A = this chain, B = another copy of it.
Amino acid sequence: MRFVIQRDHLLQSVQDVMRAVTSRTTIPILTGIKIVATEEGVTLTGSDSDISIESFIPREEDDKEIVEIKQTGAIVLQAKFFSEIVKKLPTDTVEIDVQNHLQTVIRSGKSEFNLNGLDAEEYPHLPQIAEENLFRVPTDLLKALIRQTVFAVSTSETRPILTGVNWKVENNELTCIATDSHRLALRKALLETEVEGKHNVVIPGKSLTELSKTLDDTAEKVDIVITENQVLFKAKHLLFFSRLLEGNYPDTARLIPNDSKTDVVLNAKEFLHAIDRASLLAREGRNNVVKFSTVEDYAIEVSSNTPEIGKVVEEIQSQSIEGEELKISFSAKYMMDALKALEGSEIQVSFTGAMRPFVIRPMNDDTTLQLILPVRTY
Protein backbone atom coordinates (compact mmCIF):
# COMPACT_ATOMS: atom_id res chain seq x y z
CA MET A 1 0.00 0.00 0.00
CA ARG A 2 1.29 3.44 -0.88
CA PHE A 3 -0.49 6.77 -1.28
CA VAL A 4 0.02 10.52 -0.96
CA ILE A 5 -2.79 12.37 0.81
CA GLN A 6 -3.76 15.91 1.84
CA ARG A 7 -2.95 16.14 5.54
CA ASP A 8 -6.11 18.07 6.57
CA HIS A 9 -8.42 15.47 5.01
CA LEU A 10 -6.47 12.64 6.64
CA LEU A 11 -6.50 14.43 10.00
CA GLN A 12 -10.28 14.99 9.90
CA SER A 13 -10.90 11.31 9.12
CA VAL A 14 -8.48 10.14 11.80
CA GLN A 15 -10.18 12.33 14.40
CA ASP A 16 -13.60 11.00 13.36
CA VAL A 17 -12.70 7.31 13.62
CA MET A 18 -10.70 7.92 16.84
CA ARG A 19 -14.04 8.50 18.61
CA ALA A 20 -14.63 4.77 18.43
CA VAL A 21 -11.12 3.72 19.52
CA THR A 22 -10.39 3.01 23.15
CA SER A 23 -7.18 1.85 24.78
CA ARG A 24 -9.25 -0.27 27.18
CA THR A 25 -10.11 -3.13 24.91
CA THR A 26 -9.60 -6.84 25.28
CA ILE A 27 -8.98 -7.15 21.52
CA PRO A 28 -5.47 -5.72 20.93
CA ILE A 29 -5.95 -4.96 17.22
CA LEU A 30 -8.82 -2.59 18.10
CA THR A 31 -6.26 -0.16 19.59
CA GLY A 32 -5.37 0.44 15.93
CA ILE A 33 -6.92 2.28 13.00
CA LYS A 34 -7.46 0.23 9.86
CA ILE A 35 -6.41 2.00 6.66
CA VAL A 36 -7.49 0.61 3.31
CA ALA A 37 -6.41 2.15 -0.01
CA THR A 38 -8.39 1.24 -3.12
CA GLU A 39 -8.57 2.81 -6.56
CA GLU A 40 -11.51 4.90 -5.28
CA GLY A 41 -9.77 6.37 -2.26
CA VAL A 42 -8.79 5.65 1.34
CA THR A 43 -11.05 4.24 4.04
CA LEU A 44 -10.24 4.50 7.75
CA THR A 45 -11.95 2.40 10.42
CA GLY A 46 -11.96 2.63 14.21
CA SER A 47 -13.94 0.40 16.57
CA ASP A 48 -14.35 -0.59 20.19
CA SER A 49 -16.73 -3.39 19.12
CA ASP A 50 -19.72 -1.44 20.53
CA ILE A 51 -19.25 1.49 18.17
CA SER A 52 -17.53 1.28 14.79
CA ILE A 53 -16.81 4.31 12.60
CA GLU A 54 -15.75 4.20 8.98
CA SER A 55 -14.59 7.33 7.22
CA PHE A 56 -13.97 7.48 3.48
CA ILE A 57 -11.63 9.92 1.76
CA PRO A 58 -12.33 9.99 -2.00
CA ARG A 59 -9.54 10.38 -4.56
CA GLU A 60 -11.06 13.60 -5.75
CA GLU A 61 -13.60 16.08 -4.49
CA ASP A 62 -14.85 19.19 -6.31
CA ASP A 63 -12.30 18.43 -9.05
CA LYS A 64 -9.42 18.63 -6.59
CA GLU A 65 -7.13 15.68 -6.00
CA ILE A 66 -7.08 14.62 -2.35
CA VAL A 67 -5.36 11.24 -2.57
CA GLU A 68 -2.92 9.91 -5.10
CA ILE A 69 -3.04 6.12 -4.88
CA LYS A 70 0.29 4.59 -5.88
CA GLN A 71 -0.45 1.07 -4.73
CA THR A 72 -3.61 -0.35 -3.19
CA GLY A 73 -3.49 -2.32 0.04
CA ALA A 74 -4.31 -2.23 3.75
CA ILE A 75 -2.64 -1.86 7.15
CA VAL A 76 -3.55 -1.31 10.81
CA LEU A 77 -1.58 1.37 12.69
CA GLN A 78 -1.58 2.10 16.44
CA ALA A 79 -4.29 4.75 16.78
CA LYS A 80 -2.67 6.66 19.62
CA PHE A 81 0.64 7.21 17.81
CA PHE A 82 -0.77 7.54 14.31
CA SER A 83 -3.26 10.26 15.31
CA GLU A 84 -0.60 12.27 17.19
CA ILE A 85 1.78 11.98 14.25
CA VAL A 86 -0.79 13.12 11.67
CA LYS A 87 -1.71 16.09 13.88
CA LYS A 88 1.89 17.28 14.05
CA LEU A 89 3.28 16.61 10.58
CA PRO A 90 5.04 19.64 9.07
CA THR A 91 3.70 19.78 5.48
CA ASP A 92 0.31 19.77 3.72
CA THR A 93 0.80 16.39 2.07
CA VAL A 94 1.68 13.06 3.66
CA GLU A 95 2.97 9.90 2.06
CA ILE A 96 2.05 6.59 3.65
CA ASP A 97 4.05 3.65 2.40
CA VAL A 98 3.75 0.08 3.70
CA GLN A 99 7.01 -1.80 3.18
CA ASN A 100 8.07 -5.34 4.02
CA HIS A 101 6.87 -6.99 7.21
CA LEU A 102 4.10 -4.42 7.80
CA GLN A 103 6.68 -1.67 8.40
CA THR A 104 4.93 1.59 7.52
CA VAL A 105 6.78 4.74 6.55
CA ILE A 106 5.04 8.10 7.03
CA ARG A 107 6.79 10.95 5.22
CA SER A 108 6.06 14.66 5.36
CA GLY A 109 8.72 17.22 4.43
CA LYS A 110 11.96 16.22 6.17
CA SER A 111 10.10 14.23 8.79
CA GLU A 112 10.09 10.44 8.47
CA PHE A 113 8.27 8.03 10.78
CA ASN A 114 8.58 4.27 10.74
CA LEU A 115 5.69 2.55 12.50
CA ASN A 116 5.24 -1.14 13.19
CA GLY A 117 1.91 -1.98 11.53
CA LEU A 118 -0.50 -4.85 12.15
CA ASP A 119 -2.04 -7.16 9.58
CA ALA A 120 -5.32 -5.67 8.30
CA GLU A 121 -6.62 -9.20 7.63
CA GLU A 122 -6.90 -9.67 11.39
CA TYR A 123 -9.08 -6.62 11.94
CA PRO A 124 -12.68 -7.64 12.75
CA HIS A 125 -15.22 -7.18 9.96
CA LEU A 126 -17.88 -4.53 10.40
CA PRO A 127 -21.47 -5.77 10.59
CA GLN A 128 -23.08 -6.28 7.18
CA ILE A 129 -26.29 -4.32 7.17
CA ALA A 130 -28.85 -4.66 4.40
CA GLU A 131 -30.00 -1.18 3.56
CA GLU A 132 -33.70 -1.87 3.78
CA ASN A 133 -36.21 0.24 5.59
CA LEU A 134 -33.89 3.16 5.95
CA PHE A 135 -35.24 6.51 7.00
CA ARG A 136 -33.68 9.91 6.63
CA VAL A 137 -33.24 12.74 9.15
CA PRO A 138 -31.52 16.11 8.61
CA THR A 139 -28.25 16.28 10.58
CA ASP A 140 -29.26 19.30 12.66
CA LEU A 141 -32.53 17.65 13.69
CA LEU A 142 -30.71 14.41 14.55
CA LYS A 143 -28.30 16.33 16.78
CA ALA A 144 -31.21 18.10 18.49
CA LEU A 145 -33.00 14.77 19.08
CA ILE A 146 -29.85 13.45 20.76
CA ARG A 147 -29.05 16.61 22.74
CA GLN A 148 -32.57 16.90 24.14
CA THR A 149 -32.77 13.33 25.42
CA VAL A 150 -29.38 11.69 25.97
CA PHE A 151 -28.47 13.61 29.15
CA ALA A 152 -31.36 11.87 30.95
CA VAL A 153 -30.05 8.31 30.52
CA SER A 154 -28.98 6.45 33.64
CA THR A 155 -25.29 6.42 34.47
CA SER A 156 -25.71 3.40 36.74
CA GLU A 157 -25.35 -0.13 35.45
CA THR A 158 -27.95 -1.53 37.86
CA ARG A 159 -30.55 -1.38 35.06
CA PRO A 160 -28.41 -1.47 31.91
CA ILE A 161 -31.40 -0.86 29.61
CA LEU A 162 -31.77 2.64 31.11
CA THR A 163 -28.26 3.62 29.94
CA GLY A 164 -29.72 3.79 26.44
CA VAL A 165 -32.23 5.97 24.64
CA ASN A 166 -35.44 4.30 23.48
CA TRP A 167 -36.05 5.02 19.77
CA LYS A 168 -39.49 4.21 18.44
CA VAL A 169 -40.56 4.59 14.83
CA GLU A 170 -44.26 4.28 14.06
CA ASN A 171 -46.60 6.05 11.62
CA ASN A 172 -43.70 8.02 10.16
CA GLU A 173 -42.92 9.50 13.56
CA LEU A 174 -39.68 9.00 15.52
CA THR A 175 -39.93 9.22 19.31
CA CYS A 176 -36.79 9.33 21.49
CA ILE A 177 -37.14 8.72 25.22
CA ALA A 178 -34.53 8.60 27.98
CA THR A 179 -35.06 8.12 31.69
CA ASP A 180 -32.96 7.30 34.73
CA SER A 181 -36.18 6.67 36.73
CA HIS A 182 -35.91 10.08 38.46
CA ARG A 183 -36.57 12.13 35.33
CA LEU A 184 -37.52 11.59 31.73
CA ALA A 185 -36.79 13.39 28.48
CA LEU A 186 -38.92 12.92 25.36
CA ARG A 187 -38.56 14.31 21.86
CA LYS A 188 -40.63 13.47 18.78
CA ALA A 189 -40.05 14.25 15.12
CA LEU A 190 -42.04 13.62 11.97
CA LEU A 191 -40.06 11.71 9.35
CA GLU A 192 -40.03 12.98 5.80
CA THR A 193 -39.66 9.50 4.32
CA GLU A 194 -42.28 6.79 4.39
CA VAL A 195 -41.14 4.03 6.80
CA GLU A 196 -42.48 0.53 6.49
CA GLY A 197 -43.22 -1.34 9.69
CA LYS A 198 -42.32 -0.33 13.23
CA HIS A 199 -39.09 -0.10 15.21
CA ASN A 200 -38.63 -0.12 18.98
CA VAL A 201 -34.94 -0.24 19.94
CA VAL A 202 -32.58 1.06 22.63
CA ILE A 203 -29.38 2.81 21.50
CA PRO A 204 -26.56 3.18 24.08
CA GLY A 205 -26.36 6.80 25.29
CA LYS A 206 -22.61 6.80 24.75
CA SER A 207 -23.03 5.88 21.08
CA LEU A 208 -25.44 8.77 20.52
CA THR A 209 -23.11 11.22 22.29
CA GLU A 210 -20.18 10.15 20.10
CA LEU A 211 -22.35 10.22 16.97
CA SER A 212 -23.43 13.77 17.75
CA LYS A 213 -19.80 14.89 18.13
CA THR A 214 -18.89 13.29 14.81
CA LEU A 215 -21.63 15.05 12.85
CA ASP A 216 -21.29 18.65 11.67
CA ASP A 217 -24.20 21.05 12.11
CA THR A 218 -25.54 20.93 8.59
CA ALA A 219 -28.93 20.42 7.01
CA GLU A 220 -27.60 17.44 5.03
CA LYS A 221 -29.46 14.22 5.57
CA VAL A 222 -28.34 11.21 7.58
CA ASP A 223 -29.67 7.81 6.53
CA ILE A 224 -30.59 5.56 9.44
CA VAL A 225 -30.93 1.78 9.19
CA ILE A 226 -32.15 -0.19 12.19
CA THR A 227 -31.65 -3.95 12.34
CA GLU A 228 -32.23 -6.47 15.08
CA ASN A 229 -29.02 -5.74 17.01
CA GLN A 230 -27.36 -2.84 15.19
CA VAL A 231 -28.12 0.68 14.07
CA LEU A 232 -26.25 2.33 11.22
CA PHE A 233 -26.05 6.07 10.62
CA LYS A 234 -24.85 7.01 7.13
CA ALA A 235 -23.64 10.55 6.57
CA LYS A 236 -21.52 11.83 3.69
CA HIS A 237 -18.32 9.73 3.60
CA LEU A 238 -19.08 8.44 7.10
CA LEU A 239 -20.61 5.24 8.47
CA PHE A 240 -21.39 5.06 12.17
CA PHE A 241 -22.41 1.64 13.55
CA SER A 242 -23.63 1.02 17.08
CA ARG A 243 -24.82 -2.13 18.72
CA LEU A 244 -28.26 -1.94 20.36
CA LEU A 245 -28.99 -2.72 24.00
CA GLU A 246 -30.79 -5.99 24.62
CA GLY A 247 -33.92 -6.14 26.74
CA ASN A 248 -37.28 -4.42 27.01
CA TYR A 249 -37.44 -0.70 27.63
CA PRO A 250 -40.03 0.15 30.31
CA ASP A 251 -43.35 1.52 29.15
CA THR A 252 -42.95 5.20 29.92
CA ALA A 253 -46.25 6.43 28.49
CA ARG A 254 -48.13 5.82 31.75
CA LEU A 255 -45.62 7.97 33.68
CA ILE A 256 -46.60 11.15 31.86
CA PRO A 257 -49.62 12.79 33.51
CA ASN A 258 -52.46 13.83 31.20
CA ASP A 259 -54.03 16.44 33.42
CA SER A 260 -52.59 19.09 35.75
CA LYS A 261 -53.62 21.07 38.83
CA THR A 262 -51.16 23.98 38.65
CA ASP A 263 -49.74 25.47 35.44
CA VAL A 264 -46.98 28.06 35.53
CA VAL A 265 -45.60 29.88 32.48
CA LEU A 266 -42.05 31.20 32.90
CA ASN A 267 -39.17 32.68 30.98
CA ALA A 268 -36.83 29.68 30.63
CA LYS A 269 -33.58 31.63 30.97
CA GLU A 270 -34.65 33.64 34.04
CA PHE A 271 -35.90 30.45 35.67
CA LEU A 272 -32.69 28.57 34.83
CA HIS A 273 -30.49 31.29 36.35
CA ALA A 274 -32.63 31.51 39.48
CA ILE A 275 -32.47 27.72 39.98
CA ASP A 276 -28.72 27.85 39.39
CA ARG A 277 -28.27 30.47 42.14
CA ALA A 278 -30.69 28.74 44.51
CA SER A 279 -28.72 25.52 44.10
CA LEU A 280 -25.46 27.20 45.19
CA LEU A 281 -26.28 26.77 48.86
CA ALA A 282 -28.10 23.46 48.35
CA ARG A 283 -25.19 21.58 46.86
CA GLU A 284 -23.65 20.57 50.17
CA GLY A 285 -26.80 19.29 51.83
CA ARG A 286 -29.89 17.34 50.71
CA ASN A 287 -28.56 16.25 47.34
CA ASN A 288 -28.93 19.60 45.59
CA VAL A 289 -32.64 19.98 46.26
CA VAL A 290 -34.42 23.34 45.99
CA LYS A 291 -37.92 24.36 47.09
CA PHE A 292 -40.39 25.88 44.66
CA SER A 293 -43.59 27.64 45.69
CA THR A 294 -46.20 29.87 44.16
CA VAL A 295 -46.49 33.21 45.95
CA GLU A 296 -48.72 36.27 45.49
CA ASP A 297 -48.98 38.41 42.35
CA TYR A 298 -48.12 35.68 39.82
CA ALA A 299 -44.69 35.21 41.32
CA ILE A 300 -42.88 32.04 42.27
CA GLU A 301 -40.17 31.59 44.85
CA VAL A 302 -37.23 29.20 44.61
CA SER A 303 -35.21 28.69 47.77
CA SER A 304 -32.73 26.51 49.57
CA ASN A 305 -31.38 26.44 53.08
CA THR A 306 -28.34 24.72 54.53
CA PRO A 307 -28.15 25.91 58.15
CA GLU A 308 -24.32 25.60 58.41
CA ILE A 309 -23.80 27.81 55.37
CA GLY A 310 -26.83 30.00 54.82
CA LYS A 311 -29.94 30.31 52.71
CA VAL A 312 -31.08 31.82 49.46
CA VAL A 313 -34.46 33.03 48.21
CA GLU A 314 -35.10 33.82 44.55
CA GLU A 315 -38.30 35.44 43.33
CA ILE A 316 -39.31 35.07 39.70
CA GLN A 317 -42.20 36.83 37.98
CA SER A 318 -44.27 34.33 36.00
CA GLN A 319 -46.21 35.06 32.82
CA SER A 320 -49.17 33.27 34.35
CA ILE A 321 -50.13 30.90 37.14
CA GLU A 322 -53.30 28.87 36.82
CA GLY A 323 -54.84 26.44 39.28
CA GLU A 324 -53.99 25.50 42.86
CA GLU A 325 -51.28 26.99 45.07
CA LEU A 326 -48.26 24.70 45.30
CA LYS A 327 -45.16 23.95 47.31
CA ILE A 328 -42.84 21.32 45.86
CA SER A 329 -39.16 20.31 46.06
CA PHE A 330 -36.98 18.91 43.30
CA SER A 331 -33.38 18.40 42.21
CA ALA A 332 -31.90 21.64 40.91
CA LYS A 333 -29.60 19.66 38.64
CA TYR A 334 -32.46 17.80 36.94
CA MET A 335 -34.37 21.06 36.45
CA MET A 336 -31.33 22.82 34.97
CA ASP A 337 -30.64 19.88 32.63
CA ALA A 338 -34.26 19.96 31.48
CA LEU A 339 -34.33 23.74 30.94
CA LYS A 340 -31.08 23.63 28.96
CA ALA A 341 -32.49 20.89 26.73
CA LEU A 342 -35.69 22.75 25.86
CA GLU A 343 -35.66 25.14 22.98
CA GLY A 344 -37.82 28.25 23.21
CA SER A 345 -37.80 31.20 25.56
CA GLU A 346 -41.12 30.48 27.31
CA ILE A 347 -41.92 27.24 29.07
CA GLN A 348 -44.92 25.84 30.85
CA VAL A 349 -44.51 23.74 33.99
CA SER A 350 -47.53 21.56 34.76
CA PHE A 351 -47.89 20.09 38.25
CA THR A 352 -50.39 17.57 39.56
CA GLY A 353 -49.61 17.99 43.26
CA ALA A 354 -46.46 18.05 45.36
CA MET A 355 -45.95 14.26 45.26
CA ARG A 356 -46.53 13.64 41.55
CA PRO A 357 -44.13 13.90 38.61
CA PHE A 358 -44.39 17.22 36.78
CA VAL A 359 -43.86 18.15 33.17
CA ILE A 360 -41.97 21.02 31.50
CA ARG A 361 -42.81 21.92 27.90
CA PRO A 362 -41.85 24.80 25.65
CA MET A 363 -44.92 26.95 24.87
CA ASN A 364 -46.57 26.13 21.54
CA ASP A 365 -44.42 23.07 20.90
CA ASP A 366 -45.71 19.59 21.63
CA THR A 367 -42.77 17.68 20.13
CA THR A 368 -40.75 17.76 23.32
CA LEU A 369 -41.26 17.41 27.04
CA GLN A 370 -39.20 16.93 30.18
CA LEU A 371 -40.55 15.17 33.26
CA ILE A 372 -39.10 15.32 36.79
CA LEU A 373 -40.05 13.40 39.93
CA PRO A 374 -40.27 15.65 42.99
CA VAL A 375 -38.43 15.06 46.27
CA ARG A 376 -40.39 14.83 49.51
CA THR A 377 -39.35 17.70 51.80
CA TYR A 378 -42.42 19.83 52.63
Report the separation of the CA atoms of residues A84 and B282 in the bound assembly, to the nearest whole angstrom: 13
Q: Does A277 contact B (CB under 8 A)?
A: yes
Q: Which one of A39-47, A107-115, A189-197, A357-365 contacts B? A: A107-115
Select which of B90, B116, B276, B312 is within 8 A of A114 by beta carbon.
B312
Chain B residues contacting A308 (CB-CB under 8 Å) are: 116
Select which of B111, B114, B277, B311 is within 8 A of A314 by beta carbon.
B111
Q: Does A78 contact B (CB under 8 A)?
A: yes
Contact B277 A309 (CB under 8 A): no
Report the separation of the CA atoms of residues A114 and B280 in the bound assembly, to the nearest whole angstrom: 12
Contact B273 A114 (CB under 8 A): no
19 A-B interface contacts by CB (under 8 A): A78-B309, A81-B280, A84-B280, A85-B277, A88-B273, A88-B277, A90-B273, A110-B315, A110-B316, A111-B312, A111-B313, A111-B315, A112-B313, A112-B314, A113-B277, A113-B310, A115-B309, A116-B308, A116-B310
Chain B residues contacting A281 (CB-CB under 8 Å) are: 81, 113
Report the separation of the CA atoms of residues A112 and B104 in the bound assembly, to the nearest whole angstrom: 65
Q: Does A89 contact B (CB under 8 A)?
A: yes
Chain B residues contacting A14 (CB-CB under 8 Å) are: none
Q: Does A178 contact B (CB under 8 A)?
A: no
Report the separation of the CA atoms of residues A314 and B111 in the bound assembly, to the nearest whole angstrom: 5
Chain A residues numbered 93-132 whose CB sits less than 8 Å from any CB in chain B: 104, 110-116
Report the separation of the CA atoms of residues A311 and B333 in the bound assembly, to the nearest whole angstrom: 49
Q: How many chain copies does the complex carry?
A: 2
Q: Does A332 contact B (CB under 8 A)?
A: no
Would you give the 0/1 interface string for A276-295, flagging 1 where the beta carbon is closer than 8 Å to chain B?
Answer: 11001100000000000000
Chain B residues contacting A112 (CB-CB under 8 Å) are: 312-314
Chain B residues contacting A316 (CB-CB under 8 Å) are: 110
Q: Does A201 contact B (CB under 8 A)?
A: no
- With CB as the reference atom, state the residue of chain B lying closest to A302: B111
Report the separation of the CA atoms of residues A310 and B274 in the bound assembly, to the nearest whole angstrom: 56
Contact A277 B313 (CB under 8 A): no
Contact B280 A314 (CB under 8 A): no
Contact A85 B309 (CB under 8 A): no
- With CB as the reference atom, state the residue of chain B lying closest to A108: B277
